[in-house]
Amino acid sequence: MMQAAAPHLMEAWTVNHIVHLEQIRATAAEARWSLAIADAAGHLVFAESDFESMLCAEWPASRHIVLPAPMYDNIFGTNQNRYAGRTFIATGTPSRSLWFLKARRRHPVDSLTAREREIAQLIAQGMTHKEIARRLGIAPATVRNHAQAILKRADVHNNAELTTQLKRAGY
């Protein structure tokens, strides 16, 4: 009896995880995330082909049955649940004994510091330099200097392009 039920249970398990991945995709669509599932030991249970190609680009010599140690350590071993590599960004969300992973290729705005990203997000919300300065407790000239550095580092020419890049990157 158990042998007859096993394939059906495996199929139900697979369908359940695919449904969960589709829910993740619905919230991650704008940033173009690729999805995967790993167990607590970092073994990939499922990975979309683009997820696998990102792993190959970051670690060409590695077989990707198990997540590479730097990625595993950053996602599973820290409170950040995030890996920022050379070529892609990945995050993980635990769910019982599995981790649901999503990854996307790096964008120029990923190189911004935390403070620059904070200011960039306020600029994207339409705040003026004076309003940002007041909110953050810094001088408007400091905001202006940050804004110039942000545009250069993000490789954009104006605030509209910056807003688009932030949205594409999922910030």
CA 29 from chain centre, in angstroms, equals 12
Chain segment 106-133, per-residue pLDDT in tens: 999 999 999 999 999 999 999 999 999 9
Domains annotated for the chain, with CATH where assigned, are 2-105 (3.30.450), 108-169 (1.10.10.10)
Record the pTM. Answer: 0.69
Handedness of CA 46, 51, 52, 56 (dihedral sign): negative
Chain segment 2-49, per-residue pLDDT in tens: 566 555 455 555 556 566 556 655 555 545 788 899 999 999 988 888
